[in-house]
Structure 1
């Protein structure tokens, strides 16, 4: 199988890329610059690494021409978060989160749709519980994730006739470097044991990826067990 994965530099994306590599699958990974691309290339020497900055979606234009053959799965994992109340939310904070979390996935999906159609593949959006409920200080991030949910729903309706499945995974707080940053912004102590492990979430994503062709999982929510 061939998978295109964003966010493979750390956290969920890194763990997913490692899991797929270990079982012998083919990977195409995105890096935002040449230096990050070199790092990913050393970590995943068998992968094809493409340089494109999700913070500048124009760099994704034409990316589909750099990928050969069908794509079985496109997994959108990369994302950014920057908490702020609306009263002090800066334009740059708003724009960055909407750009990376929503606009870039839309452009990348468009670029790879011919490859996904050829393989009758699956698009997986790793969203967030913030894509279902917006809490105080989470307005920009939640807006980007609510938008990502809408993108997935529309794409699912459009691509069913082409055999492309679309799934959204909504994880609650997961023990990742992003979660460390969130706790710092919230002024809270971080305890990874309180949250979903990365490996558990990766197994959920792999289950969606490996689902037989006679079924689809449109949405799955993952919450801490305690």
Structure 2
């Protein structure tokens, strides 16, 4: 007797809220989803909402815990890097600790998790999607360390794409403009501005771009997707 066909497996980091949670919801109809993040309560609540998903709680900056969590994954169809941090400040105001934290989470953790999961991604001919930012395409005053980390993330994606093309692994960078999330509220508060949700992209709109990259036919390599708010 032949058992039911296994559904594709996706891992989404930063799935406890914002864009990551929206991506998990977008992928859930066609994938079993591992919900990555540090807020176990939020991950369990989302898992109840999405049949076929389960929490994958891990601190991405803890190398030993990350290796242990990734070790049980033998085949992975989709890896979405949504976890990240946005700390603002001018070059004159930003200490080395902020630069290190921003790069540790936005670049080093991404690179290490990808490295650990490459055998599983190669086995499935998987898709890697990196949630970047408009700041990964151009930098502006007050965003130096954040933009630098996102430029580095884009370079990582380009190198990974070139290295893994022969192994059937597709790599897409998604560069959204400002998105209506808690992180955006914190950024606007740092900037001292008024928060207007209607001025920003919805997390679901960004998740739609991720789904497009994940479901693109094999003859279409979506290398970069750029989204901007359509409003004034």
Decide: shared fold, TM above 0.5.
yes
| Residue of structure 1 in register with 2:11 after alignment | 4
Deviates more, 1:43-52 or 1:137-146: 43-52
| Residue of structure 2 in register with 1:26 after alignment | 32
Matched, 1:89 2:94: yes
Matched, 1:73 2:71: no
Deviation at 1:116, TM superposition (A): 0.6
1:32-71 paired onto structure 2 within 5 Å: 32=38, 36-45=39-48, 46-67=52-73, 69-71=74-76
1:183-222 paired onto structure 2 within 5 Å: 183-222=188-227
Deviation at 1:58, TM superposition (A): 4.7
Matched, 1:155 2:127: no
State the secondary structure of the residue aligned to 1:86: coil
1:145 to 142, 147, 150: 150
State the secondary structure of the residue aligned to 1:87: coil
Over the aligned positions, Cα root-mean-square deviation in angstroms equals: 1.4
Q: Name the CA distance, whole Å, in 1 between partners of 2:120 and 2:9.
A: 10
Q: TM-score, normalised by structure 1?
A: 0.93
- CA offset digits 1:196-219 (Å, max 9, x no partner): 111111111101111011211001
Deviation at 1:142, TM superposition (A): 0.6
Count the aligned residue pairs.
Answer: 221
Q: Name the CA distance, whole Å, in 2 between partners of 1:213 and 1:109.
A: 21
Q: TM-score, normalised by structure 2?
A: 0.90
Structure 2's unaligned 5+ residue stretches are 1-7
Q: Is the contact made by 1:53 and 1:60 (CA closer than 8 Å) also made in structure 2?
A: yes
Q: Name the CA distance, whole Å, in 2 between partners of 1:172 and 1:151.
A: 20
